[in-house]
Amino acid sequence: MFSGAFTGGKAKEVFLDTLAQHYRDRPEKTAVELISDSGLLRVTYAQLERHVNRTADYLLSLGVKRGDRVAAQLPKSLPFIYFHLAAMQIGAIFLPLNPAYPEAELRYFLADSGASVFIADAKDAPLINALTDELPDHRKTSFIYQPERSGADWLEDRSSSPGQPLPSDPNQTAMMLYTSGTTSRPKGARITHGNLTANIAALHQAWGWRDDDVLLHVLPIFHVHGLVVALHGALHAGATAVLTTSFDAPSTLDLLTSGRFSVFMAVPTMHRRLYQVAGEKRYDLSNMRLLTSGSDRLPDDLFFGYQRTFNVTLLERYGMTETGMNLSNPLRGERRVGAVGKPLPGVSARIIDPGSGAALPDDQVGELQIKGDHVFAGYWRQPEKTAEAFTDDGWLRTGDLALREPDGYYTLKGRAKDLIISGGLNIYPPEVELALMEHGAIAACAVIGCPDQEWGEQVVAVVVPHPGETIDSAEIIDYCRHQLAAYKAPRRVLVLDELPSNALGKVQKAKLRERCCPCLR
């Protein structure tokens, strides 16, 4: 029934081919619905094709060529989806940017990617015009007015395109997603059409996606979770995706209990809020086919609390930007609390001793490494960083510590990399530390994640002032919010006379956490 099915390592056709088949086979079916403050917008598969083709035509008219980067900083909206699909359709590289990025971060992403075209919300025009004027490779910024409209209305004066040729090269980069690093500025992970297709086909097999599925989509749309796992997942199946523009727990609970939806995906912070909104009341969501949790560990109390409150067992899975999804608890069979399941079809996983590089037996904790057609093609213009990400024999180092249980389930056991996950978002302490060190009053600093029930972890900055300087915590937080997206800014700033360090002068973050995180004391 599904085209593009997983065929033992090689996907037959790319995701866009499968989507094109749905345009033809189910033109009247609703592909995407958007619930926004201004009402409900609905596009069928036939309308989606028309809007995407018109948008592709528009991008071509701007001079976009195969391999060009098309950056987009748009709210979660239908135009976002049109530009995303259109850019990939003409062989360009789509670069989605979080609307929360402040000027400093945007400047970096645009310059690093060398985006030739930038699609932005018209309300941001003054800032963005000033910013793109500085970019040597930049050809055009296109402002979208009223992104909440459904059609590709901004193209009304242009002739409709009969349809663009679809790329058939699985090795072509389809999109680029920036991930931060432990030692460097953010890097653009190049994800190919083949990567997307391999992963979505594996997920379809594992999660049993069906064309009568209706997905409730509350996630941000510029990450791999919301864009690929959720949106591509539904479109690949010829199903319907119903998007809300943002996440609001009470209204999401109303939608979930409406009986309309079969699939729901969220991060633990969202599940926690839903569970809290439910309070003592009991609901029965067992009519839904699949509720997944990912992007951060699902705490045990939430796993069991959710079961009691909603009469469903969340399916936890494990992925990352560079790979899409790797491991998953099963659709049928035991969804094990605290475990992230087994490798998806076509995915190989192993546990390696970080010291010796030797493979470890079951039940021993080591670094989780991954291989498969879904693994990204490397970092944009960063061959050294790409080489560091892989072992000599081609396995991706995830930087996550895990063990394999004898029956094949994997359990995450911590991180080898310096990373904080807050509300399902990755925050790399070195990036925040770099920003802090540019503050005139700070002589030394360390950024740590303190456990937090709602967010998973919270960003805490520990700073040492220059002699004679005093630190105003609120001012430091405000300073960070100007340098970085607000979610990366510390929630707390602690001042110490010095940071604990080892013989090599490296800050001992484990010690700092013990000392500075209230719940660990």
Cβ proximity to ligand MLC: between 253 and 270 the closer is: 270
Q: How far is the CB of 269 from ligand MLC (least distance, A)?
A: 4
Half-sphere exposure of 123 (CA within 13 A, CB side): 7
> How far apart, in whole angstroms, are the C-alpha atoms of residue 76 and residue 82?
11
Which amino acid would we find at residue 186? Answer: P
> How far apart, in whole angstroms, are the C-alpha atoms of residue 373 and residue 386?
16
Identified binder of ligand MLC from the candidate list 15, 154, 455, 479, rule CB under 6 A = 455
Cβ proximity to ligand MLC: between 149 and 417 the closer is: 417
* Three-point CA angle 381, 384, 390, nearest 5°: 110
> How far apart, in whole angstroms, are the C-alpha atoms of residue 31 and residue 263?
15
Task: Kindly state whether residue 178 participates in binding ligand MLC, applying the rule CB under 6 A.
Answer: no
Q: How far is the CB of 295 from ligand MLC (least distance, A)?
A: 4
Identified binder of ligand MLC from the candidate list 52, 200, 425, 480, rule CB under 6 A = 425
> How far apart, in whole angstroms, are the C-alpha atoms of residue 128 and residue 94?
18
Task: Kindly state whether residue 377 participates in binding ligand MLC, applying the rule CB under 6 A.
Answer: no
> How far apart, in whole angstroms, are the C-alpha atoms of residue 212 and residue 261?
10
Helix (H, G, I), strand (E, B) or coil at 397: strand
Q: How far is the CB of 270 from ligand MLC (least distance, A)?
A: 5
* 8 Å CB contact between 374 and 388: no
* Three-point CA angle 53, 54, 58, nearest 5°: 115
Pick the piece of the chain touching ligand MLC (CB under 6 A) from 111-119, 316-324, 368-376, 378-386. 316-324
Q: How many CB atoms lie within 10 A of CB 157?
A: 5
**Of 313, 321, 323, 308, whose CA–CA distance to 293 is shortest?**
313
Region for residue 67 given its phi and psi (left: phi exceeds 0; alpha: psi -120 to 50; beta: otherwise): left
Q: How far is the CB of 40 from ligand MLC (least distance, A)?
A: 21
Task: Kindly state whether residue 342 participates in binding ligand MLC, applying the rule CB under 6 A.
Answer: no
Task: Kindly state whether residue 226 participates in binding ligand MLC, applying the rule CB under 6 A.
Answer: yes
Helix (H, G, I), strand (E, B) or coil at 30: strand
Identified binder of ligand MLC from the candidate list 343, 423, 429, 490, rule CB under 6 A = 423
Task: Kindly state whether residue 315 participates in binding ligand MLC, applying the rule CB under 6 A.
Answer: no
Task: Kindly state whether residue 335 participates in binding ligand MLC, applying the rule CB under 6 A.
Answer: no
Which amino acid would we find at residue 169? Answer: D
Cβ proximity to ligand MLC: between 328 and 382 the closer is: 328
Cβ proximity to ligand MLC: between 40 and 486 the closer is: 486
Task: Kindly state whether residue 224 participates in binding ligand MLC, applying the rule CB under 6 A.
Answer: yes
β-pairing, 263-266 with 290-293? parallel
Task: Kindly state whether residue 247 participates in binding ligand MLC, applying the rule CB under 6 A.
Answer: yes
Task: Kindly state whether residue 319 participates in binding ligand MLC, applying the rule CB under 6 A.
Answer: yes
* Per rule CB under 6 A, count of chain residues that contact ligand MLC: 22
Pick the piece of the chain touching ligand MLC (CB under 6 A) from 178-186, 383-391, 416-424, 466-474. 416-424
Identified binder of ligand MLC from the candidate list 437, 486, 510, 520, rule CB under 6 A = 486
Task: Kindly state whether residue 216 participates in binding ligand MLC, applying the rule CB under 6 A.
Answer: no
Q: What does the CA dihedral 18, 19, 22, 27 come to, rounded to 10 degrees?
A: -160
Quote the tokens at residue 286: 């067992």
Cβ proximity to ligand MLC: between 27 and 102 the closer is: 102
Residues that bind ligand MLC (CB under 6 A): 219-220, 223-226, 247, 267, 269-270, 294-295, 319-321, 422-425, 455, 486-487
